[in-house]
Amino acid sequence: MSTYVYGITAASHPALPEGLGGVGNPALPVRVLTEGDLAAIVSDAPEGLRPKRRDLLAHQNVLSEAGAGGCLLPMRFGSVAPDDGTVTGVLAEHSEHYKERLRTLDGKVEYNVKATHDEEAVLHRVMSDNPEIRAVTEANRQAGGGGYDERLRLGEMVVAAVKAREAEDAGEVQRALEPLADAISVGPESSGWLANLSFLVERDAAASFLEAVDQLRKDHPHLDLRVNGPLPPYSFVDPGPAEPAGTTVGIDHAEE
């Protein structure tokens, strides 16, 4: 049977809670595979695994329970190896890499920050900051709304100004929060966000990081900032040295 992998930790990691269940219905027993100084937290992989809410929560619960005992390199949901031997083989092959990651990430958590614009507030900001847009708006108003070409020109000017503001504000979010983090990972671009950033933060410095987010909200009321965390440091578990980026940290070659 295939092996489902939740995370990688040190072989000296404290024992997991007795009877801990993982993915599957009924929940499959979680167990530990050791190889030298490393261990993988695994269970059997259920047939036809899909990202259903029950299994996503089970995956997260195993990581939370295991992470409470010490540093853990979390795998993304759906990380499956052909068998236990493949898992221990990967641990042996990339032993130094995983041990370095465990040392680096010890005592740290991830916070993901996504930023969007409050539409009404950013339009007001763009109008107040751009004399040309204000002038064209006023000219159209005095002309009873302006003709088609004038309205089109104004719309294009506003869109361009908002786009420029998005780039400026994305940089501002990163500049404000990056000094409080040990590392930063820029998430994939999305039309839904002007910034999608993950920060690696010392657990003891989490309060200061969240205070900085609150200050950023006060200083930039046209920004909507959404924070998710503390999380296991998913974005900072680098692929193994022999694996291309985008794989599940050497366990298999499926996309994350």
Q: Is the pLDDT of residue 142 over 90?
A: no
Q: What is the mean pLDDT of residues 182-189?
A: 87
Please give the pLDDT value at position 249: 34
pTM score of the predicted model: 0.74
Range scoring the smallest mean pLDDT among 61-75, 131-145, 188-202 = 131-145
Please give the pLDDT value at position 69: 84
List, for residues 102-137, the tens digit of each pLDDT value: 999 999 999 999 998 888 877 777 777 777 777 767
Please give the pLDDT value at position 44: 95
Q: How confident is the model at residue 240 (pLDDT cuts 50, 70, 90)?
A: very low
Q: Is the pLDDT of residue 248 over 70?
A: no
Whether residue 95 contacts residue 8, with contact meaning beta carbons closer than 8 Å, is answered with no
Range scoring the smallest mean pLDDT among 58-67, 104-113, 131-140, 224-233 = 131-140
Please give the pLDDT value at position 134: 73
Average pLDDT, the chain: 85
